[in-house]
Structure 1
Amino acid sequence: MDSTKASTRLARRIESVLFGHRKLVIALFAIVSVFMAVSASQLRPDASFQKMIPVRHPFIVNFLEYANELRPLGNVLRIVVVNKQGSIYDKHFLEKLREINDEVFYIPGVDRGNLSSIWTPNVMWHEITEEGVKMGPIIGQGFKGTPEQIDAVKANVDKSGRIGSLVSNDQHSAIILAPLLEVDPQSGQKLDYGTLSSQIETRIRDRFSSDNIDIHVVGFAKLVGDLIHGAKAMAGFFLITFTLTVLLLLWYSRCWKSTLATVFCCSLAVIWHLGLIHIIGMGLNPYSILVPFLTFAIGVSHAIQNVRTMAVARYHGASKIEAAKATFSLLFIPGTVALLADAVGFSTLYVIDIGVIRDLAVSASVGVAVIIFTKMFLLPVMMSYSDVTPAGLRRVEQLELRPHKIAWALSALTGKKTATVVVSVAALVTLGGLGISHKLKVGDLDPGAPELRPNSRYNQDVRYLVNHYSTSSDVFVVMVKTPKGECGSYPVAAAVDEFQWRMANTPGVEGTFSLFDIMKQIISGFNGGNPKWMAITRNRFISNGAHNSIPGNLYNSDCSMLPVVLFLSDHKAETLSRVVNHVQAFADENNTPTATFLMAAGNSGIEAATNMVVERAQKVMLVLVYGIVGLLIWWEFKSIRIMLAIMLPLFITEVLCKVIMVELNLGIKVATLPVIALGVGIGVDYGIYIYNRLESHLAEGQNFREAYFNTLKSTGVAVALTAMMLALGVLIWVFSAIKFQADMGLLLTFMFVWNMIGAIVLIPALLRLIAYQTLVRKFGPSV
C-alpha cells in the first residue's frame, strides 16, 4: 500500500472519530485538563548539584568517589565579611564576624563539621619555637576584644598562613567557608538551593549589612539560587508574551472566536505540559523553566495554519463543520510530521549527559506531545463550534483580493537563472560563515559566572574575591590515590612535589597547595625554623611526626588519597583545556601504584568535564537531529532531493548562528548548545508546510511559479507570521536577569526568523536546481 494513501486513510479515520463524537472529545479533554491543572499546581523548583554536572564523566566519577573527603573543596559557599571602616582587627567587627559565623552554622544544609573561619577551632595557627612547633586556634576561648587579645589574633592570623585565603590580602575582610550537604541529614530532603539562597539573603546579607559591614557571597549554591530567583521573573515575561501573541493573532485573523479557541488550546497545552512534568517526577530548573514558553509559542505558531485554513474554507462556502473537517484533513499529516520534527530536535538533547539538559529534553518533548493532542485534535473540534466571525471572513476576502506583489516577486525564485544566483549567494555566505564559525570555542569565554550578567550582584561578589584574595575562586583539584596509610610517604611526596612545581609553571595556574606545603613548614619547625629544612624528607619517622600535625581535611580518613589544589587565573575554555592537558601529560608519565593522579574536582575541574561532554555531544547531537529530521521528511515526501531542499536552509541558519556566537563572544556550552537543536527542529516546520501546500497546488495542474505564488499567498503568509510569533515568544528573554536565558532568546530569535527567510527564499530555488526533474516526474510536464 502506498504510504501516502495510508496516511490519508489514517487522517480520515481519526477525523471520523473526532467529529463523530465531538461532545465526548471535549468532555474527555476537560476531565484530563482538570487533573493536569491539579498536578501542575504541585510543581516545584528542582535544582541540585549533581543535576548540573556530567555525573558519568570519569572526572566526576573520581570526584564523587571522594565526595565526602573533598566536601570543603566541592560545593562550598564563601561568605566574605568586609569591614568598610578599616581592618578586621577591630572588637566590633570580630564580634559581628562571630555572630555571622554562628548564624551560618545553623542554616540548614551547611556541613557544620567542616565550617571554617578564623572563629572556628579547625583553623589553626602554627609557630616554630626553640621547643618545636606550637599551634592553636586563631581566636581562643574567652575572647573579650581587649587590645592584647586583638593583637594576639593579628599575630595568630599571620602565623596561620591564611592571609590571602581566609583573610584578605589587605586584611579588611574575612571569609566564612561553608561546605554544603547535598541531602539535609535532618529532613532527608535534597538541598533546596532556592531556599538556601533566600536564607543567605535574609539571615546573613540583609540582617548584617550596614554602613560598617558589607557581605559578598560566592559559590555554586548561591549561583543556582540567584538563577532560580531570576527565573521567577519569567512568569512576567510569559504574561507579556501571552498578551502580545493574542494581539498579533487577532490582528492577523480579525476573528476573536478563532483567536480565543487557539489561545485556549495552547494555554491548555502548557497546563498539560506542567502537569505531566510533575507526574513523571520532575520539577522546573532554570533551564527547563523556558520550555513552557516554547510550548505555548509552538502551539500558537502551528495553530495559525488552522486559523487560516478554516477561514478560507468558510469564505469559499463550506459549512463550519465541513470547514473544520477540511482543516483537520489538510493539516493532520504535515502538522504531525512538523511536530515530530520539533520533538526530534528536543529529544536529541538527551545525548548530553548532564541532568538539567536531559530534563530539558524530556520536558520539551512532553510539551510537543501535548501540542499534538490539543492543537491537532481539540482545536479543530472547538473551531467546528466557534466558527469564524464576519470580520474574519472579510479579512480573508481582503487577503484574497490583495495583489500580493511581494509574493509574485518571490515566485520568480522558481526560475532557473534567479535560482542559480540566489543559491550561489547562499553558498558564498555559507562558506564565509564556515570560516568564521571555526573560531567558535567550547566553554565559558568570560570571567565570573557567565550565566548571570556582568553587573549582577553575584559577579560583583566574584570580582571582590578575585581582587582581594590570593586564592582564586576557580579551583581545579587533582586527587592523588595511594595505598592505604601511604599518603604522606616519601615516594608520594616526591611525585606530588614535582607535580606542584610543574603545574605552578603552567600558564593559567596562579598557585598550588597540598598537605606537603604544611609538612615542609612543620619539618622546618622541627629544625629551629631553618629554611634549608623546608623540604620533604625520606625519613619516615620525621614525616610521620609532621603528618600528625597536619589538618585532617588535607587527606582522607585512611590516608589513601590527598587532594592537590590548583588555583587558576580564570575558568575560560583555553585555561581549562591547557590545565587538563598538562595534568594528563604528567599522569601519563608518572602514574604508579604508589601515586596515581586522578582528575578532577573543584568548580574548574567540574567545568572542564562539562566542556568535554558538551564538545563530544554537539557532534552526536547534530548528526542525530539532521539525520532523524531528514528521515522524517523523506518518509513524508519520498525524495532525497526534496529532503535536501528543505534541510539545506536549516544548515545555513546553523552556520550563521555560530557566526553570531563568535561575534558575541559566546562559547558552545550547556546554555547555548540546546539552541542549535531547537532551531533545527522547529525551523523545519516552515519547509514542511510550504512544500506540502506547494505539492497540493502542483497536483491541481498549476505550473511551478503559479503554484509557489499561491503557496506564498496562503501558507507563506502564515509561515511568516509563525516566525514572528515564535521570535516574539523568545525575544523578550533578552531582558532576563539571567544572561544565558538572554543569550538563548537572542539566538533562538535569529534562528526562527532566519529559518523562515531561508525557507521562503531558498526552498523554491533549491527545488528548481536539484529537484525539478523529480517534480516533473511526479506532477507532469506542466510544472
Structure 2
Amino acid sequence: MNGIVRRLEALLFGHRAAVLVAIGVLTAVMAYFALQLRMDAGFEKQMPIGHEYIQTFRKYSGDLFGANRLTVVVKPRQGTIWTRPALTRLYDVTQAVLFLPNIDRLGVQSLWTPNSFVNEITEEGFRAEPLIDGTISAPSLTDDVIAKIRRSTSDGGFIGTLVSRDQTSAMITAELDEYDRAGNKLDYVAYNRLLEEKLRSKFEDKDFEIQIIGFAKQVGDIADGASSVLVFCAIALVLTALAVFWYCHSVRFTVLPILCSLTSLVWQFGTLRLLGFGLDPLAVLVPFLVFAIGVSHGVQQINYITRELAHGRTAMQAARHSFTGLLVPGTLALVTAFVSFVTLVIVPIPMVRELAITASIGVAYKIVTNLVMLPMLASWFNVSKAYAERALARHEARSRWLRTLAAVARPRNALIATVLTVLLLGAAMFESRDRVVGTVAPGAPELAADARFNRDALSISKNYDIGLDWLTVVFEAAPESCENVAIGAYQDDFAWAMQDVPGVISINGFSSLMRTYNLGYNEGNPKMSAVPIDSGNYAALATEIGRMRGYMRKDCSMTAVHLFLADHKATTIAGVIRAVEQFRHANPSKDVKIRLASGNAGVLAAINDEVERSERPMLLYVYVTIMILVLLAYRDVRAVIACCLPLTVATFVGYWFMKELEIGLTVATLPVMVLAVGIGVDYAFYIYNRLHAHMAEGQNIVQAMENALLEVGMATIFTAITLAIGVSTWAFSALKFQADMGKLLAFMFLVNLVMAMTALPALAVVLERLFPRRSAVRASKLMSH
C-alpha cells in the first residue's frame, strides 16, 4: 500500500500543471450546470415506497380526502362572517381558489360550493339542499337570505367545519394535484408565490385577513426562508476563514482549504443538475454539512503542511509529505462519511434517497479536492524562511498547553477516562431511550413558531373542530356490500372506541353519517340516531352518503372513518395508530378488514415509521464499515474498539441532546446524525494514524499517543471549535429547522472533539495495557512519515 501511495504521489506531482488545469476546466463546466440548479420540492417524494399506509393512500386516493390539501380562511377583522361584505369576499376567494392551477375543482368546498348541503327534516321527510342556492349570487344577498344561510349552516353541522365555532371566519378547502394533465410536476416554490399573489395580496386588506395553510404553502415558505440559509452559511464561511487565518497567519493558506471545499461544492451542484435533480428545501443544509467535512480535512492538511514548513521543508516537500501522510487516513475517513450518507438510501423515502445521493456525491468529490488538489496547489507556494520560523514558534507554543491535555494518555488517567466514558455511554443510552421519531411540536416544525404559516395554523386549529391533521382509517369489505349492515355496526363500534383516545378531537365517517341520515329520515327522533339494522334502509342511506366524496366507494367495498387530530406531533399520531391497531387486534371481523391509513397524518405516520425502522440498520452498516476500514488500515481489533466506542458515545449523547431540546429525529435531522459519525471518524483516523506512525518508530503507547495528540490535536480542536462557532450562528435563523440544526451540529462537533481527545487515547492506552502486542508495529502498514 505504501508503494502505491508513493507511485501515485510521483505521478500527480510530476504532472502538477496538467492535473490542476484539468481540475480548473472541470470546475468551469460544472459551474455552468450548477447555476441552472433550482429548488425542487414534492409531496409525492415524501411518501415511503411500499409502506402499508401509503399503499392504502394510493389505492383509495380517488375516493378519500387528499392529504395534499390547501386550506384558505376568510376572516373579517371585525364582526362575524354573516354580513354581505364578508360573504361576498368569501365568494370571491372561493372563485379564485377554483381557478388556481392544479386544483381538483370537484374537491373544492366552501359555503358557496354545491357540494356543501344541509340535510333538512321536512313534513315530506328528508331533503338535501345546498347551503347557498344556485340562484343566489353575491349581489343578491339580503338580510333574510343571509339569515337563511346562517340557519342552514348551523342545521347542517358546518359550524366548526366550514365556519369557525365563533362564526367570525369561514373556510375553503381544496385538493392539489402534484402533476397536471400533461404530466408536468407542480413547482411548489412558484406556486407559493402564486398563492400570495392571487389570494393574499388580492383579497387581504384593512377589513379582511386571509389565512393560508397546506403542504404547498408550507414548502413554499420554507423555500423563501432558504435565502436566510445562504446568509447564515456565508456568515459561517467568513468566521471559518477568519479562524483559519488566525491558525496559520497566511492569506494563501486561509483561502486554500475554503477554495478546495467550494470547488467540490460546485462539482456537487453541477452533478445534481446533470442527474436531473433539484435541491429540496428540506435538504438545503446538506451541501453545507458536506462543506464542513471538507473544511475539517482541509485544516488537517494545512496543519500538516505548516508543521513540515516549521521543520525546514520546502513548500514542495511539505505538500508531498502532506499528500502521502494524509491520503490514506483522509481517504478512509471520507469513504466512511461517503458510506454513512449512502446508507440513507435504505430509508425508502424518495426525498431521503435524493438527499443521500446529494451528500454522497459531495463527499466523494472531497477525496479529489481536499486530498489531492489542496496539497498540489500548496506545492506552488513560495514560503519564506521567516514564515517557517514563526510557524515553528506557534507550533511550540500550542504544544505547551496541549501537553496538559495529552496527559490523558498516561495509564492512571487513561483508566479513569475509560471508566467515565463507559458510564457516560450507559447514561446516554438510558436517557435517550424514549427519544421521539418525528415532529415534537404542532404546526410546521421547519418554521419558527411566530412564522405567518404557524400563526395561521394555530388560529385555524383553535377555531375549527375538524383539525388540520387527520388520520383516515379504511374499512374494506367484499364488492357490492351496501346491504351488509354488519359493516356499519362494526364501524360504529370503532368510532365509539376512538372517541376517548388522546389527541382525537372529532370523528367523522360513514357510520356517523349513517346515524345522521337515519335520524333525518325518521323525523328527528333521537332514538333513531343509530346505524339501521334493516338492510333495505341501510342500502338506501348508503346511496345518499355515496353522493359525497371522501366516505365510501359506490359499492360499499370501502368505507372510511376520519379521525381529526389535535396536532401532528409524533407522539399524538403514534398514540392514535396504537389505538387503531389494538381495536383491530381485539375485534376481528370476518366481513371487514381495517386498513391503515390515509390523510396527512397517515403519510406522516408512514414517514416516522420508516425513519425509525431504518435508523438502526443504517447506523449498523456505518459502524460495520468503520470497523472494516480500521481493520484494513491497522490490522488491529484494539484500533476498532478505540475508534468506534467514542463514536458510539457521541451518537447516543447526541440523541440525549435532541430529546432535551425537543428535536425529533426526522428526514431533516437524520443527515446531521450521520454527519456527526463522519466528523468523528475524521478525528479518529487522523489521531490513530499518527499514533501508529510513532509506535512504528519504537515509541511505547503512552509516548506515541502524547506525540500524536501534540501533532494533530490542535488541528482537531481548532476544526471542531471553528465549525461549532460557525453553525451556532444558525440559531438566529428564521427557519426553525435551521436553528435546530445549528444547535445540534455545534453540539455534535464539540462532543466528537471531546471524545476524540479524551476517550480515544484513553481507550487505546488501556487496551494496549490489557492486551499487549506480541510484535512491534510495522511501518509498512502506515503510509505515513
TM-score normalised per structure 1: 0.95
Paired amino acid for 2:342: S
Residue 765, structure 1, aligned to residue 762, structure 2: yes
1:503: how far off? 1.3
Tell me by how many angstroms 1:372 deviates. Answer: 0.7
1:4 corresponds to: none
| 1:85 equivalenced with 2:82 (yes/no) | no
Q: How many residue pairs end up in the alignment? A: 772
- Aligned pairs for 1:591-630 (under 5 A) are 591-592=588-589, 594-630=591-627
Secondary structure in 2 matching 1:111: strand
Match of 1:264?
259
Q: Which residue of structure 2 lines up, in the alignment, with residue 166 of structure 1?
A: 162
Alpha-carbon contact 2:318-2:379 (below 8 Å) kept? yes
Equivalent position of 1:43 in the other structure: 37
Q: Residue 300 in 1 paired to residue 298 in 2?
A: no
1:634 aligns with 2:635: no
Contact 1:83 1:173 in 2 (8 A): yes
Structure 1 residue identity aligned to 2:366: I
Shift of 1:268: 0.7
Task: Pick from 7, 12, 16 the counterpart of residue 13 of structure 1.
Answer: 7
The equivalent residue for 1:312 is 307
Residue type of the partner of 2:151? A
Residue 437 of structure 2 aligns to a residue in which SS?
coil
Distance 1:750 1:487, change over 3 A: farther
1:778 aligned to which of 776, 779, 783: 776
Instruction: Give the Cα separation in 2 of the matches to 1:287 and 1:726.
Output: 21
The structural deviation recorded for 1:126 is: 1.6
Query: CA 1:745 to 1:557, structure 2 compared with 1: closer, same or farther past 3 Å?
Result: farther
1:376 aligns with 2:374: no
**Shift in CA distance, 169/708, structure 1 to aligned 2, threshold 3 Å:** same
Partner of 1:52: 46
The question of whether the paired residues in 1 share the 8 Å contact of 2:486 and 2:591 is answered with yes
* Cα contact 1:407–1:709 (8 A) shared by 2: no
- 2:572 maps to which of 555, 575, 587: 575
Q: Does the 8 Å CA contact 2:312/2:388 hold for their aligned counterparts?
A: no
Is residue 126–residue 521 contact of structure 2 (8 Å, CA) maintained in 1?
Answer: yes
CA contact (8 A) 1:294 1:729 kept: no
How many angstroms apart in 2 are the aligned matches of 1:69 and 1:768? 66
> Structure 1: which amino acid aligns with 2:761?
P
3-state SS, counterpart of residue 512 of structure 1 = strand
Q: Which amino acid aligns with 1:45?
A: M
Tell me how far apart the structure 1 counterparts of residues 665 and 650 of structure 2 sit (CA, whole Å). Answer: 16
Give the aligned partner of residue 3 of structure 1.
none
Q: Deviations over 1:690-747 (max 9, x none)?
A: 1111222232333444433332332111111221233244323322222222222211
1:145 partnered with 2:138: no
Cα distance in structure 1, aligned partners of 2:773 and 2:218: 56
The separation in 2 between residues aligned to 1:389 and 1:268, in whole angstroms, is: 28
Hey, what's the Cα distance between the residues in 2 that align with 1:178 and 1:336?
52
Percent of residue pairs bearing the same amino acid type = 37
SS in 2 for 1:27: helix
1:286 and 2:281 correspond: yes
Whole-angstrom distance in 1 between the partners of 2:765 and 2:343? 32
Deviations 1:35-77 (A, max 9, x none): 211111111111111222223211111111111222x342111
Shift of 1:403: 6.8
Tell me whether 1:96 sits opposite 2:89 in the alignment: yes
Distance in 2 separating the partners of 1:188 and 1:349: 29
Match for residue 154 of structure 1 among 141, 150, 155: 150
1:570: Cα distance to partner?
Answer: 3.0
Which one of the candidate residues 479, 484, 489 is aligned to 2:474?
479
Moved more, 328-337 or 666-675: 666-675
CA apart distance, 1:639: 0.6
**Any residues of structure 2 matched to 1:476-555 within 5 Å, and which?**
476-487=471-482, 489-550=484-545, 551-553=547-549, 554-555=551-552
Letter in 2 for 1:206: S
Shift of 1:569: 2.7
Q: Measure, in 2, the Cα distance between the counterparts of 1:483 and 1:769.
A: 68
Cα separation, 1, equivalents of 2:617 and 2:705: 36
Residues 103-134 of structure 1 deviation map (CA, whole Å, 9 limit, x = unaligned): 11122222112111001111111211011222
Verify the 8 A CA contact 1:411 1:706 in the aligned structure 2.
no
1:198 matched residue in structure 2 = 193
CA distance in 1, matches of 2:487, 2:397: 83
- How far apart, CA to CA, are the structure 1 residues paired with 2:292 and 2:394? 24
User: Partner residue of 1:586?
Assistant: 583
What amino acid is aligned across from residue 632 of structure 1 in structure 2? Answer: L
Can you list the C-alpha shifts for 1:331-364, whole angstroms capped at 9, x where unaligned? Answer: 1111101111111222222222222222222111
Distance 1:491 1:116 in 2: 31
Greater CA deviation, 288-297 or 395-404? 395-404
Query: Could you tell me whether the CA contact under 8 Å between 1:228 and 1:286 is conserved in 2?
Result: yes
C-alpha distance in 1, partners of 2:234/2:723? 15
- Structure 1 residues 775 and 682 mapped into 2: Cα distance closer, same or farther (>3 Å)? farther
Aligned partners of 2:437 and 2:612 also within 8 Å:
yes
Deviations 1:229-278 (A, max 9, x none): 22232111222122222211111111222222322221111100111112
Other-structure match for 2:58: 64
Letter in 2 for 1:111: D
3-state SS in 2 of match to 1:768 = helix
Provide the rounded CA distance (Å) in 2 between the counterparts of 1:349 and 1:762. Answer: 28
Alignment of 1:676 with 2:673, yes or no, is yes
Which residue of 644, 652, 655 maps to 1:655?
652
Give the Å deviation of 1:770: 0.8
Which of 20, 23, 26 is the matching residue for 1:32? 26
Q: 1:110 aligns with which of 103, 108, 111?
A: 103
User: What's the secondary structure of 1:168's corresponding residue?
Assistant: coil
The answer for unaligned runs of 5 or more in structure 2 is: 779-785
Asked whether the 8 Å contact 1:157–1:163 carries over to 2, the reply is yes
Give the TM-score normalised by structure 2.
0.94
Does structure 2 retain, via aligned residues, the 8 Å contact 1:503–1:509? Answer: yes
Q: Which amino acid aligns with 1:463?
A: L
CA distance in 2, matches of 1:36, 1:558: 56
Q: Which amino acid aligns with 1:443?
A: G
